[in-house]
Structure formats: C-alpha cells, structure tokens
Amino acid sequence: MTFNAFFNRIENQYQAELPFVIYRKPNENNIFGLLQNTNDLFFTEDFTEKGFVFSPFDNTEKSVLMPLEFSKSFKTVQEISNKIETSKKWAGINYDSEKNIHINLVKSGIDALENNQFKKVVLSRSETVSLSNKNPFSIFKNLLENYASAFVYCWYHPKIGLWLGATPETLVKIEGQRFSIMALAGTQNYNGSLNVKWQKKELQEQQYVTDFILDNIKSTIDNIKTSPVETVKAGNLLHLKTKIWGVLKRNTISLKDLLYSLHPTPAVCGVPKIEAKQFILKHEKYNREFYTGFLGELNLEVTSAPRSGKRNIENRAYAITKNSTQLYVNLRCMQLKENNAIIYVGGGITESSNPESEWEETVAKSLVIKKVL
C-alpha cells in the first residue's frame, strides 16, 4: 500500500470513530496498521490472544486488546522527508507552580528512601500544552522522522482516547523460545558525543534495573547472557542500557505471569516494586493511565527462513513460523484531548538525587516530545 493511501485509510477509520493502531518498530522502515472492525472494547484475559495490547502502569487494571480476529492489518513503507527542527516556542513557559509541586514530590521520595521504605522510586508529572497542530497523523509523521531508533505509535479507541509516543525502551521480545529484554535507566542531555561521564546516581539506578530483571527471570530463562553497559541516544537525551537475552524454558510460566513479574520495572516504578508502586499511587496526585505501561504486538505469527549452511541446504526452501511478542514500555508519550496534548515525564529517584536536577531532567524529557508538536 502506498504511503498516502495508508494514511487516507487511517484517517477514514479515525473519522468513523473506530479503533486503530499504527506503529513502526525501532530502526525499521515498515509502518504497520491494525484497524478494528467495531468500536467494542476488548481486554486480554491471560495474554494468550493475538493482536495489539495496550496496558496501563497499574497492573491491577485491565489491558486493552485490539484482537487480530476482529481487525484488518496492512502496512506501508515510511517516506523520508526533512527532519523538523527543535521548536523554540516552549522556552518561555512559566513552570513555577509545576516546579514547586514536583520538587516537593521528589523531596518526599528522598525522605522515604532515607527511611528505608525502598531503594529507588520513579516519580513523574504530567504537563498540558495547547496544540496549534491538532492533526494526530502530522504529529505521528514528525515522530517517525525524528526518532528512527524508537518504537513510534499512534493508538486510538473512542472509549479510551488517543495516544502517541516514541519510546526508546523495550519491555520484552519473545520469538519462539528466544527471549530478550533491556535494562534502560539514567538520563543526561546529548551534547554531540556518546563519550560522557556518568554519575554514581545514574550508574546505581541502571544497576537496580538490571539486577531486578535478572532476579525475576532466572527461574524461567536458560542460558542468560548480558551485554556490557552502553550509552545510547534517544532524541536529545542519553541513557544507560544493558541488553539481556536467553532461552525461555518450556511450560514453566505463563506469558501473563512473566510479564507481571517484570512490569512495572524499576525503570518506571522502583525497588522493591510493591512499596515503590504504593508510594507512587499515593503521592503523585494524578493518574498515569497508560504512561509507563506497555504496548505492542501480542502472539503474532512471523515467518523466517532457516539459516544457511551446508548442513541445511536441503531445508532452505522451508520457512519457519513462530509466535512473536514484542512489547515496549510506554515512555516519551502524550495523550491528545480536545485541543491539548498531555505530556508525561518522570525520573528515577535515589538517595543521592538532587530535587532541582530531577526537575530539570523532566523539563529536558518534555522537550523531546514538544519538539514534534
């Protein structure tokens, strides 16, 4: 399908107030679309269904499903145009009220850390800005052009709302029995080089995430391997990343139990998870909804050819079909409501956190999203 025909079809779906999701995976050119046939609201019961899942931060709430059996799927190839430049119009915003609220929230988090309630907590805020460009598909195209290494999406359900994002973080990828995940934490501004010095606070934050993941997968994943910690760029920000991969043991745990043993990870919640989550729900004073939840393809079939080699020359003609689940943490996202965009940003708090610096980190993250508005 041509690029223009793809978006015409999505526009018609949106005008008809029918659910859809369009998305592009990191470092790929294909844009996928899933159009639901009715406006019914479906939920996944146990993550065995096939489709696209959209899950909230609070894992006691239901995850929305666009079922493959009640949807049409199609794709196009991204057209590349000139990238937009960072907007300067946001520099003059008066943040005084929001700043004081967030700094006080961070201080309360540090107090709780010093009282040994937890080792780390991720605290966030929302920011509402008026839209001059109200077309979600223009915003989606801007996200595509600016964040090639992110999972970029536009998700809509008339009974839930309209969300867009460009997230740098994978929750899990499972293809057949192959399993991979990433530990992503720590933030600083990108100033032209990946060769930067990280402070103890960021290194500690990232290690908490890595240790949590390894502890939670050790009974269900064989041959676990981890990469060295690397600095990666996402928009105008840098993060610390560790890749973790292995082989999923058969019949040891359901996908739902595996996902909820990990989600929400310390990168978006804290350590220990339950205590940090309770603090967040009590003190943030707003509902994160789908921010810091997860989203992506659930149990879709993928076909790949066997690897070439003398031993399987005769088998090269035979394709292998496997179930594939690719889920991403919903970061760098926004919700469109009426004439406004609600932007969600946060950061990890440890005992060595500085409240003023934590505020500045959320401002930097908000500019990543505002760049495309």
* pLDDT at 134 (0 to 100): 86
Measured N-to-C along each axis, helices 96-114 and 273-283 cross at an angle, to the nearest 10 degrees, of 150
Q: Residue 110 belongs to what H/E stretch? A: helix 96-114
58 burial type by CB count under 10 A (0-12 exposed, 13-18 middle, 19+ buried)? middle
Length of the chain: 373
* pLDDT at 315 (0 to 100): 55
* pLDDT at 79 (0 to 100): 86
| DSSP letters spanning 154-195 | EEEETTTEEEEEEE--EEEEEETTEEEEEEEEEEEE--S-S-
Assigned CATH for 3-80+103-303+319-366: 3.60.120.10
Q: Which long-range contacts (CB under 8 A, 24 or more apart) does 205-208 make?
A: 205/120, 205/240, 205/266, 205/348, 205/350, 206/240, 206/241, 206/242, 208/119, 208/120, 208/266, 208/271
The alpha carbon torsion through 168, 174, 180, 181 (nearest 10 deg) reads 40
* pLDDT at 317 (0 to 100): 58
pTM of full prediction above 0.85? yes
* pLDDT at 88 (0 to 100): 46
**First-to-last CA distance in the chain?**
27
Helix (H, G, I), strand (E, B) or coil at 54: strand
* pLDDT at 236 (0 to 100): 84
- Domain ranges in the chain are 3-80+103-303+319-366
Euclidean distance between CA atoms 346 and 212, whole angstroms: 20
* pLDDT at 369 (0 to 100): 86
Give the HSE-up count for residue 367: Cα atoms under 13 Å, Cβ half-sphere.
20
Euclidean distance between CA atoms 137 and 338, whole angstroms: 15
**279 in Cβ contact with 109 (< 8 Å):** yes
| Average confidence (pLDDT) per 10 residues, the chain, 373 residues | 95 98 96 98 96 96 97 93 51 75 96 95 96 91 93 98 96 95 91 93 91 94 96 90 95 91 94 96 96 98 67 60 94 95 95 93 89 88
- Looking at residue 70, the DSSP 8-state letter turns out to be G
* pLDDT at 311 (0 to 100): 56
* pLDDT at 330 (0 to 100): 98
CA nearest neighbour of 202 among 212, 218, 188, 215: 188
